[in-house]
Structure 1
Amino acid sequence: MTPPQVPGARLRRGRVSLALSFFAQGAVFALLVTRIPAIQTRYGISDGLLPVFLAAVPVLAGVGSVGTEHLVKRVRPSVVLRVVQPVVCLALLAVGAVGSLAQAAVALAVFGLTVGGLDASMNMLGVSLQRAYGRSIMLGFHAAYSLGGIVGASLAWAGAHWELPLVVLYGPVVAVAVPLVLVIGRWFVDGEDRGGAEGAEGTAGGTPVAMRLLLPLCLVMAFAYIGDSTVSNWSAKYLKDVLGSSEQLSTVPYNVYMVTTLLGRTVGDLGVRRFGPVAVVRIGTVVAAVGFAVVAAAPGAWVGMVGFVLLGLGLCVIVPQTFAAAGRYAVERHGPGASDPTIARLNIFNYVGFLIGSPLVGGLGDAWSYRGAMLVPMVLVLVTLVYARSFGSSSARYGDDHERPRTADVGRGSNGL
C-alpha cells in the first residue's frame, strides 16, 4: 500500500459510493436467495430440478468472474461495475415477473453471469481504494454488504408474511436500486484515477498472480464460504431437527449470524489497523472454529445460538482480508495493474465454496450425523491458520501515520510457515 494521506474529496466520494454499491448488492442477493421457495412454487420447479437451478447461478457467476479477469485488462473496473449492477437488479425483477419456467431460467442465468462481474469489480475497487487510503477500510465495504443483506432478508420476510407476489416485492426495490446505482457510479474511483505513482502506471493490461502462488488464498476463500453456506443453508434445520427448537426459533440463527457479521465487520477495520491483518485473521479463524465446535456439541437450542454468534464474529473478517491480501501481493509481485485480474481470479473460489458447502454438510448429515457434519467446515476453516502469514507480516500495521506493506509470499504453503 502507498503511504496514507488525508483522503481528498474524490476518494471520500468514491468510498461512500462504493459502500452504497455493496449495500445494494447485499439487499438484491438476499432478496433472491431468501425467496427461493416462492420462486420454486411460482414456476413449478420440481424438487429434483431445483438443485440444478441453484447450482447454475454460482457456476455462471464463476464464468462471469473469469470473463471479468480478462475484461479489466482493457476497461476500468468502475465501467464494469456501472454496467453490470443495474443488469443484476433488473434480472432480479425478471425472475419475479416473467411468465414461464424457461424465461425464469434465462433471468437466473443473466443474474449469475453478471453477479460474477459485479462481485469481482466491487472488490477490485475496494482493494484499490484501501491502497489509496493506506489503511484498512475493506471490512467496512463488506459491512455495508451485510447491512444490505439484513435489509433484503427483512423485506423478503415481509413479502412472505403478507404473501406478496414476487413482482410486487421486487418491483419497488428495483425501482429504487437501479437509479441509485446509476447515480453513484459517477463517483467510483479506479486505481488509475487517483494520481501519484500508481495512477501514472495505470491498471490496464496487468498480469494476474499465477494460480499456484495464489492457491493458499483461494483455499482460504473457498473454505470460508463453505462455512458461510453451512450457516445459511443448515442453521434452521439443525436447530429444529437436532437441537429440538420450535419452528419460530429455528429462523433466528441466520438473522443472528447476519447481525454479528455486520458488527464484526463494522469494527474489524479498527482491529486490522491496530493489530495487523495476520492477527485479526488468526483470531477470526479461532473464533469461527470455536463457534462450529459449540454448535456441534450444543445440548440445546440456546447454546447452539451462541455458536452461531461466534461463527458470525469469526468468519466475517476472513473474506475481506483475503481480497486485500491478494491485491497487496499482486501489486508487490507484478505492479498495480496486476491487482484487478488477480482479485477476479480469487473471486471464483467464492462460488466454489458456495457450491460445495451445502451438499457437503447435507450429505455428511444424512450419511453420518449433522453434529459430526458441523465439524467438517470447522476443520476446513482452521486451515486458514496454516496460511495466516499469507495475509501480511504480523508486524505490519494499518495506522493513521504509516503502513509498511510487508506481505508474505502466498505460495509458501505449510512448509514455509
Structure 2
Amino acid sequence: MIHLPRGSPRPYCAAMTDARLRHGRGSLAVSFFIQGVAFALLVTRIPAVQDRYGISDGLLPAFLAAVPVLAGVSSVIAEKLAARVGPAAVLRWVQPVVLLALLAVGAGSGLWMAALTLGLFGLVVGALDASMNMLGVSLQRAYGRSIMLGFHAAYSLGGIAGASLAWVGAHWHLTLFTSYLPVVAVLLPVGLIGSRWYVDGRSDRRAATDEPAARQGLAFRLLLPLCLVMTFAYIGDSTVSNWSAKYLQDVLHSSEELATVPYNAYMVTTLLGRSVGDLGVRRFGAALVVRGGAVVAALGFAVVAVAPGAWTGMAGFTILGLGLSVIVPQTFAAAGRLFPGASDAAVARLNVFNYVGFLVGSPLVGALGDAWTYRGAMLVPMVLVLVTVVYATSFGARPAGYGGGHEQPRTVDVG
C-alpha cells in the first residue's frame, strides 16, 4: 500500500470529484437565482397583468390561487419524473419552460390567455422548485456540511434583482412583454448552459433507491412535523408579501411610497440571513438555528402588531426577514436527512406545503383583519411561527446530522 506524505496533493480522481461538485453547486445556485428573478417579475407586476387582461378584482384571487394549486400538483408529478430520469433532467427541461411561460404572460390578451399562461407557469414552477431542492439536498449530503441556505440566498438575490427590474419596467411604463423579453433573452441561455454542470450528489442513484427507506416508502407521520413547519413559514412569508404595504399605509398611516419599502427590507434581510446561515448551522446545528429563527420571526410579528408608527412597523418586517430566512432551507435539508434513501420523494411532498402555506396565509390574514383588526391578525402568524420551536427536534440535535454523527473532515471540503 502506498502512503502519501502529509500535505501531498490528493489523488487526481478525488480532485476531479471535488471540481465536479463545485461546478454542480455553482450551476444550481444560478438556477435558484434565475427562479428568484422570474418569480419576482411575475408577482410584483400583478397589477399590470390584471390591467392587461382586464381581470376584475373579484376574479383576480381565483387566478392567483390557481398558480400555487397547479404548482402543488406538479411538485407531486416531479417526484415521479425524478424517480425515472433524475432531478437534474427535470430541472434542465422545466426551467426554460418557466421563463417562456413568464414571457407568454406578458404577450397574451384575453381572459383565456391569462388562464392558459398563468396555469402553465404554475404547472411548471412546482416541478422546478421541487427538482432544485432535490439537487440541493443531495449536494449537501455529498458535501457533508450545510450549504442549503446558500442556494436559497441566491434565490433571494434573484428576487431582489427581479423586483428591481419590475420597478424599472413600471417606472418607464414599459409593457409586460417589453419588460420581460430582455430578461428572458439573457437568462434562458444562461440557464441552459449552466444546466450542463448539474450534479446529483449521490454517486449511485440506483443504489440509493434500493435503501430501506426507499423500499418502504415515506412514513408520513415522520414527515408531518416538517410539513407543518413549511406551512407556517410560508404563511408568515405570504403575510409579508401580500399585506406589508397595505398594513403600513392603512394601519400605520404611511405614505404610498414608504409603504413599498418593508417588502424590500424584508428581502434584503432574508438574503443576509441566508448568506450567513450555513455557518450557524455548521457551528450550532440545524435545530438551534431554526429555533432561533422562529423566535426572531415571532419577535418581528410582535413589533409589527404593536408598532406606533410606520418606521417601527418597517423595523418589524425587517426583523421578520432575518428570522424566516433560515427555516425553509433547513426544512428541506432535514427531510433529506430524515429519509436518506428517499430524499427526492420527501422533498417533493414537502414542497407541496410551500404552496399550502402560500394559499392559506394571505386569505387568513385578510379575513381576520376584516373581522377583527389587522394588528390582531398579525398575531396569528406570530403564534404559528412560534410552534416551529416545538417541532425543532425534527431537524436533528447533532451539528450536521449526516449519518456518522459529525461533519466530514475539512480534507474533503470542496467549496
Give me the TM-score of the superposition, normalised by structure 2: 0.91
Cα distance in 1 for partners of 2:313, 2:66 equals: 32
User: 1:403 aligns to what?
Assistant: 406
User: 2:207 aligns to what?
Assistant: 201
Whose Rg is larger? 2
User: 2:372 aligns to what?
Assistant: 368
**1:245 positional shift:** 0.9
Query: Among residues 150, 153, 158, which one is paired with 1:140 in the alignment?
Result: 150
In the alignment, is residue 177 of structure 1 matched against residue 187 of structure 2? yes
Query: Among residues 175, 197, 200, which one is paired with 1:187 in the alignment?
Result: 197
How do residues 196-345 of structure 1 correspond to structure 2 at under 5 angstroms?
Answer: 201-203=207-209, 206=214, 208-331=217-340, 335=341, 338-345=342-349
Preserved CA contact (<8 Å) 1:221 1:349: yes
Preserved CA contact (<8 Å) 1:93 1:170: yes
SS in 2 for 1:149: helix
Cα distance in 2 for partners of 1:213, 1:181 equals: 35
Preserved CA contact (<8 Å) 1:59 1:351: yes
**1:189 positional shift:** 0.3
SS in 2 for 1:8: helix
How do residues 25-174 of structure 1 correspond to structure 2 at under 5 angstroms?
Answer: 25-174=35-184
How do residues 385-404 of structure 1 correspond to structure 2 at under 5 angstroms?
Answer: 385-393=389-397, 395-397=398-400, 403=406
The residue identity in structure 2 corresponding to 1:356 is V
**1:213 positional shift:** 1.9
SS in 1 for 2:255: coil
**1:99 positional shift:** 2.8
Residue-by-residue CA offset, 1:365-393 (whole Å, 9 max, x unaligned)? 00000000000000001110110010011
SS in 1 for 2:339: helix
The residue identity in structure 2 corresponding to 1:391 is F
Cα distance in 1 for partners of 2:89, 2:325 equals: 28
User: 1:411 aligns to what?
Assistant: none
Residue-by-residue CA offset, 1:259-301 (whole Å, 9 max, x unaligned)? 0000000000001011110110010000000000000001111
- RMSD of the TM alignment (CA)? 1.8
Residue-by-residue CA offset, 1:138-172 (whole Å, 9 max, x unaligned)? 00000000000000000001111111000000111
Identity of aligned residues (%): 73
Preserved CA contact (<8 Å) 1:134 1:398: no
Cα distance in 2 for partners of 1:287, 1:18 equals: 29
Cα distance in 1 for partners of 2:79, 2:206 equals: 21
Cα distance in 2 for partners of 1:350, 1:44 equals: 29
Cα distance in 1 for partners of 2:376, 2:276 equals: 32
Residue-by-residue CA offset, 1:213-259 (whole Å, 9 max, x unaligned)? 21100000000000000000000010111111111111000000000
Cα distance in 2 for partners of 1:199, 1:117 equals: 19
In the alignment, is residue 346 of structure 1 matched against residue 356 of structure 2? no
Unaligned regions of 5+ residues in structure 1, if any? 406-417
Residue-by-residue CA offset, 1:292-316 (whole Å, 9 max, x unaligned)? 0000001111111111111000000
Report the number of matched residues: 390
The residue identity in structure 2 corresponding to 1:369 is T
Cα distance in 2 for partners of 1:382, 1:211 equals: 22
In the alignment, is residue 18 of structure 1 matched against residue 28 of structure 2? yes
Residue-by-residue CA offset, 1:327-379 (whole Å, 9 max, x unaligned)? 00001xxx2xx010110000000000000000000000000000000000000
Cα distance in 1 for partners of 2:312, 2:210 equals: 51
Residues 1:179 and 1:289: Cα distance change in structure 2 (over 3 Å): same
Cα distance in 1 for partners of 2:339, 2:249 equals: 45
SS in 1 for 2:232: helix
The residue identity in structure 1 corresponding to 2:372 is W
Unaligned regions of 5+ residues in structure 2, if any? 1-13, 409-415
Cα distance in 2 for partners of 1:204, 1:67 equals: 21
Residue-by-residue CA offset, 1:22-55 (whole Å, 9 max, x unaligned)? 0000000000000000000001001111000000
User: 1:414 aligns to what?
Assistant: none
Cα distance in 1 for partners of 2:179, 2:146 equals: 36
**1:186 positional shift:** 0.6
**1:101 positional shift:** 1.9
Preserved CA contact (<8 Å) 1:135 1:403: no
The residue identity in structure 1 corresponding to 2:153 is A
Cα distance in 2 for partners of 1:176, 1:397 equals: 37
Cα distance in 1 for partners of 2:301, 2:358 equals: 17
Preserved CA contact (<8 Å) 1:273 1:398: no
